[in-house]
Amino acid sequence: MRKLFLTLCVVLSFSLKMKADEGMWIPMLLQNNEKEMQEMGMNITVDDIYSINHSSMKDAIVLFDGGCTGEIVSEKGLLLTNHHCGFDWIQYHSTVEHDYLTNGFWAMSQAEELPCPGISAVMLKKMEDVTDRVLEGVTKETSNDERAEIVTENIKKIKEEAENNSDYQVVIKSFYHGNKYYMIYNEVFKDVRLVGAPPSNIGKFGGDTDNWVWPRHTGDFSIFRIYVSPDGKAADYSEDNVPYKPNYHFSISLKGANEGDFTFVFGYPARTNEYLPAVAVNQEANVIYPISVDLRGKILDIYNKYQEKDPKVRIQYASKHAGLGNGWKKWMGVTEGINNFKGIEKKKQFDKDFTDWALKSRQRGAYINLIKDFGKVYEEYEPYRLATTYLSETALQIEILTFAANFNKLSQVTKETPQEEIDKLIANAKEATKVFFKDYHQPIDEEVAAMVLQEYINNQPADFRPELLNTIVEKYADVQSYVDELFAKTMFTSEENVNKFLDEFKPAKAKKLAKDPALMAYNNVMDFYIDNVRSKTIELGNQIADMQRVFMRGQMEYHAERNPEKMMYPDANFTLRVTYGKIGGFSPKDAVTYKHFTTLDGIMQKENPDIYDYVVTDRLRELYEAKDYGRYADKDGSMHVAFIAGNHTTGGNSGSPILNADGHLLGLNFDRTWEGTMSDLIYDPSICRNISVDIRYVLFIVDKYAGASYLVDEMTIVE
C-alpha distances out from residue 622 to 202, 619, 635, Å: 14, 5, 21
Among ligand ASP, ligand ARG, none, partner that 207 touches (CB below 5 to 8 angstroms by kind):
ligand ARG
Among ligand ASP, ligand ARG, none, partner that 649 touches (CB below 5 to 8 angstroms by kind):
ligand ASP
Among ligand ARG, ligand ASP, none, partner that 455 touches (CB below 5 to 8 angstroms by kind):
none
Site string for ligand ARG, 315-354 (x = CB under 6 A): -------x--xx----------------------------
Among ligand ASP, ligand ARG, none, partner that 211 touches (CB below 5 to 8 angstroms by kind):
ligand ARG
Q: Which is nearer to ligand ARG, 94 or 493 (CB)?
A: 94
DSSP codes joined into one string, 275-326: T--HHHHHIIIIIIHHHHHHHHHHHHHHHHHHHHH-HHHHHHTHHHHHHHHH
Residue nearest to ligand ASP (CB): 654
Among ligand ASP, ligand ARG, none, partner that 88 touches (CB below 5 to 8 angstroms by kind):
none
CA separation for the pair 264, 269 (Å, rounded): 13
Cβ-Cβ contacts under 8 Å for 181 (sequence gap 6 or more): 129, 130, 131, 133, 134, 135, 155, 172, 173, 174, 175
State yes or no: is 654 an active-site residue.
yes
C-alpha distances out from residue 426 to 498, 506, 517, Å: 11, 11, 20
Which residues on neighbouring strands pair with residue 658, listed in sequence order? 265, 667
C-alpha distances out from residue 451 to 218, 313, 383, 390, 462, Å: 33, 20, 22, 13, 19
Give the nearest distance from C-beta 146 to ligand ASP in angstroms.
Answer: 37
Among ligand ARG, ligand ASP, none, partner that 407 touches (CB below 5 to 8 angstroms by kind):
none
Catalytic one among 220, 445, 634, 703?
220
Among ligand ASP, ligand ARG, none, partner that 208 touches (CB below 5 to 8 angstroms by kind):
ligand ARG
Q: Provide the angle, in degrees to the nearest 10, between the axes of the packed helices 318-340 and 289-309.
A: 140
Among ligand ARG, ligand ASP, none, partner that 212 touches (CB below 5 to 8 angstroms by kind):
ligand ARG
Q: Which is nearer to ligand ASP, 606 or 648 (CB)?
A: 648
Question: Which among 79, 327, 507, 553 is positioned nearest to 71, based on CA atoms?
Answer: 79
Please report the sign of the dihedral spanned by the C-alpha atoms of residue 161, residue 167, residue 171, residue 175: negative
- Residue pair 502/512 in contact (Cβ under 8 Å)? The answer is no
Give the nearest distance from C-beta 327 to ligand ARG in angstroms.
Answer: 8
Give the nearest distance from C-beta 82 to ligand ASP in angstroms.
Answer: 7
* SS3 (DSSP) at 683: coil
Residue 123 class from Cβ within 10 Å (0-12 exposed, 13-18 middle, 19+ buried)? buried
Per-residue HEC secondary structure of 379-421 comes to: HHHHHHHHHHHHHHHCHHHCHHHHHHHHHHHHHCCCCCCCHHH
For ligand ARG, the binding residues in 623-642 under the rule CB under 6 A are none
State yes or no: is 684 an active-site residue.
no
State yes or no: is 84 an active-site residue.
yes
CA separation for the pair 85, 483 (Å, rounded): 35
Give the nearest distance from C-beta 220 to ligand ASP in angstroms.
Answer: 9
Tell me the site size for ligand ASP, rule CB under 6 A: 10
Tell me the site size for ligand ARG, rule CB under 6 A: 13
For ligand ASP, the binding residues in 261-300 under the rule CB under 6 A are none
Give the nearest distance from C-beta 439 to ligand ARG in angstroms.
Answer: 16
- Given its phi and psi angles, is residue 563 left (phi above 0), alpha (psi -120 to 50 degrees) or beta? beta
For ligand ARG, the binding residues in 653-672 under the rule CB under 6 A are 654, 670-671
For ligand ARG, the binding residues in 167-206 under the rule CB under 6 A are 204
CA separation for the pair 442, 317 (Å, rounded): 12
For ligand ASP, the binding residues in 417-446 under the rule CB under 6 A are none
CA separation for the pair 500, 255 (Å, rounded): 61
Among ligand ASP, ligand ARG, none, partner that 665 touches (CB below 5 to 8 angstroms by kind):
none
C-alpha distances out from residue 453 to 42, 310, 408, 457, 491, Å: 55, 26, 22, 6, 20
Backbone angles phi, psi at 157, to 5 degrees: -65, -50
Q: Which is nearer to ligand ASP, 306 or 574 (CB)?
A: 574
Residue 23 host element (H or E): none
Q: Which is nearer to ligand ASP, 207 or 652 (CB)?
A: 652
CA separation for the pair 105, 83 (Å, rounded): 11
CA separation for the pair 203, 210 (Å, rounded): 12
Residue 719 class from Cβ within 10 Å (0-12 exposed, 13-18 middle, 19+ buried)? exposed
Q: Which is nearer to ligand ASP, 493 or 650 (CB)?
A: 650
- Residue pair 716/251 in contact (Cβ under 8 Å)? The answer is yes
Give the nearest distance from C-beta 201 to ligand ARG in angstroms.
Answer: 12
Residue 691 class from Cβ within 10 Å (0-12 exposed, 13-18 middle, 19+ buried)? buried
For ligand ASP, the binding residues in 638-697 under the rule CB under 6 A are 649-654, 670-672
Q: Which is nearer to ligand ASP, 548 or 650 (CB)?
A: 650
Q: Which is nearer to ligand ARG, 91 or 654 (CB)?
A: 654
For ligand ASP, the binding residues in 12-71 under the rule CB under 6 A are 68
Catalytic one among 51, 65, 84, 648?
84
For ligand ASP, the binding residues in 68-127 under the rule CB under 6 A are 68
- Can you say how many angstroms the Cα of residue 296 is from the centroid of all Cα atoms in its chain? 18
Catalytic one among 74, 94, 654, 656?
654
Q: Which is nearer to ligand ARG, 25 or 670 (CB)?
A: 670
Q: Which is nearer to ligand ASP, 555 or 649 (CB)?
A: 649
According to the binding rule CB under 6 A, does residue 651 interact with ligand ARG?
yes
Give the nearest distance from C-beta 329 to ligand ASP in angstroms.
Answer: 11
Give the nearest distance from C-beta 270 to ligand ARG in angstroms.
Answer: 10
Cβ-Cβ contacts under 8 Å for 413 (sequence gap 6 or more): 421, 422, 425, 507, 510
- Residue pair 205/670 in contact (Cβ under 8 Å)? The answer is no
Among ligand ASP, ligand ARG, none, partner that 322 touches (CB below 5 to 8 angstroms by kind):
ligand ARG
According to the binding rule CB under 6 A, does residue 267 interact with ligand ARG?
no
Select the residue interacting with ligand ARG from 34, 129, 208, 557 (CB under 6 A).
208
Q: Which is nearer to ligand ASP, 303 or 670 (CB)?
A: 670
Residue type, 146: E
C-alpha distances out from residue 64 to 84, 270, 444, 540, 643, Å: 12, 12, 31, 33, 23
Give the nearest distance from C-beta 207 to ligand ARG in angstroms.
Answer: 5
Give the nearest distance from C-beta 273 to ligand ARG in angstroms.
Answer: 16
Among ligand ASP, ligand ARG, none, partner that 652 touches (CB below 5 to 8 angstroms by kind):
ligand ASP
Give the nearest distance from C-beta 209 to ligand ARG in angstroms.
Answer: 8
Give the nearest distance from C-beta 654 to ligand ARG in angstroms.
Answer: 5
Beta strands at 242-243 and 105-106: parallel, antiparallel or unpaired: unpaired
Give the nearest distance from C-beta 200 to ligand ARG in angstroms.
Answer: 10
Select the residue interacting with ligand ARG from 181, 212, 341, 482 (CB under 6 A).
212
Residue 11 class from Cβ within 10 Å (0-12 exposed, 13-18 middle, 19+ buried)? exposed
Select the residue interacting with ligand ARG from 196, 207, 581, 685 (CB under 6 A).
207
Select the residue interacting with ligand ARG from 56, 73, 84, 406 (CB under 6 A).
84
Active site residues: 84, 220, 654
Q: Which residues bind ligand ASP (CB under 6 A)?
A: 68, 649-654, 670-672
Q: Which residues bind ligand ARG (CB under 6 A)?
A: 84, 204, 207-208, 211-212, 322, 325-326, 651, 654, 670-671
